[in-house]
Amino acid sequence: MQTNVYVDGFNLYYGSIRKTPYKWLNLERLCELLLPRNEIHRVRYFTALVQDSPDDRTKSQRQQTFIRALETLPTVSVHYGSFLSSRVRMPLATPQGWQRTAEVIKTEEKGSDVNLASLLLADAFRGDFEVAAVMSNDSDLVLPIQIVTKELRLPVGLLNPHPKFSVELSKVATFKRSIRKGPLAASQFPDVLRDARGEIRKPAGW
C-alpha cells in the first residue's frame, strides 16, 4: 500500500539516536525496514536549523551534512521550523539568600509539530497516501491523527522513537511499531556518498 511517513526529527533524535552510533541515518531505508509490506511513497522530515554553541562549534555543520545526505534520497523531503530564543526569569533549584530567581535564555523549537500536522492532513485530503505513519511520540499530534483515521477513514500508524508509547497517541493510532537498534544499525548511509555538489562525508564522531 502506498505509504507516507512523517518524521518528527527532534523527537526521533532525542528518543532513539542521540547517545548512539546511529546518527548517519538513511531514513528511507529505516522506513522500509519498519514497514516491509508497504510501498514507501514519501518521507517527510521535519526539523529546524540548529546554531553552534560555545561547547559545540560544529553542530550546525554536522546537521547540514546530514540534511545533504537525506536530500540524495528520492522519497525524502525536508521541512523546516525554527528556533525561538527569549529571556525569561525562572526559579532557582536551590535559592541562595534573597536570590530566588535568575534570568536565563530559553530556546524552543517552533513549527515542526504544526508543519507535520498540516502536511499529514493536506496529504490525506488530496489522496496522496493509502497509509500514513508518524515517527514521533508527541501527544500534540493526537488531533490530526484522529481526523485522518476517524473522518477520512485512512490508517495512521505510530513509529515510536521512545521506550514507552504515549497513552494518548496509542488510543488513536491504527498500528504501532517501536524503533529498535537493529533497524537503526541496518539503516546507516555509507561513510561517503555523492550529490551534484560533490562528496558528502560522514561527520567525525558519528
* Residue at 100 is within a domain: no
Residue 121 pLDDT class (50, 70, 90 cuts): very high
What is the span of the domain harbouring residue 190? Answer: 2-81+110-201
Residue 85 has pLDDT above 60, yes or no: no
Domain-located, residue 103 = no
Question: What is d(CA 96, CA 94) in angstroms, rounded to the nearest whole number?
Answer: 6
Q: Is residue 94 in some structural domain?
A: no
Q: How confident is the model at residue 106 (pLDDT cuts 50, 70, 90)?
A: very low
pLDDT band at 99 (very low <50, low <70, confident <90, very high): confident
With 70 as the cut, is the pLDDT of residue 110 above it?
A: no
Q: By the 8 A CB rule, do 154 and 124 touch?
A: yes
Asked if residue 93 is part of any domain, the answer here is no
Q: Which three cell numbers, joined as nine digits, stand for 188?
A: 546507516
Of the candidates 201, 204, 190, the residue with the CA atom closest to the CA atom of residue 29: 190
Rg (CA), the chain: 19
Residue 32 predicted with pLDDT over 90: yes
Residue % of the chain over a pLDDT of 70: 89
pLDDT at position 88 is 56
Q: CATH code at 176?
A: 3.40.50.1010
Please state, in angstroms and rounded to a whole number, the distance separating the CA atoms of residues 13 and 4.
20
For residue 87, being part of any structural domain is answered with no
- How many percent of the chain have pLDDT more than 90? 79
Asked if residue 96 has pLDDT above 80, the reply is no
Q: Is pLDDT at 95 greater than 80 in this prediction?
A: no
| Planar angle of CA 31, 80, 106, nearest 5 degrees | 115
More confident residue, 109 or 169: 169
What pLDDT was estimated at residue 83? 47
Convert the pLDDT of each residue in 49-80 to its tens digit. 988 888 888 899 999 999 999 999 999 999 99
Write out the three cell numbers for 127: 489522496
Tell whether the model's pLDDT for residue 186 goes beyond 60. Answer: yes
User: Is residue 64 one of the residues assigned to a domain?
Assistant: yes
For residue 86, is it within any domain?
no
**How confident is the model over 77-104, as a mean pLDDT?**
70
> What integer best gives the mean pLDDT of the chain?
91
Write down the pTM of the prediction. Answer: 0.88
Our count of domains for the chain comes to 1
Q: What would the mean pLDDT of 170-197 be, rounded to a whole number?
A: 98
For the chain, what is the total number of helices (H) and then of strands (E)?
7, 10
| CA distances in angstroms from 90 to 86, 93, 94, 102, 109, listed in the order given | 12, 9, 12, 6, 19
**Which residues lie closer than 8 Å to 204 by C-beta, 6 or more apart?**
none
Backbone angles phi, psi at 13, to 5 degrees: -60, -50
Does 158 map to a domain? Answer: yes
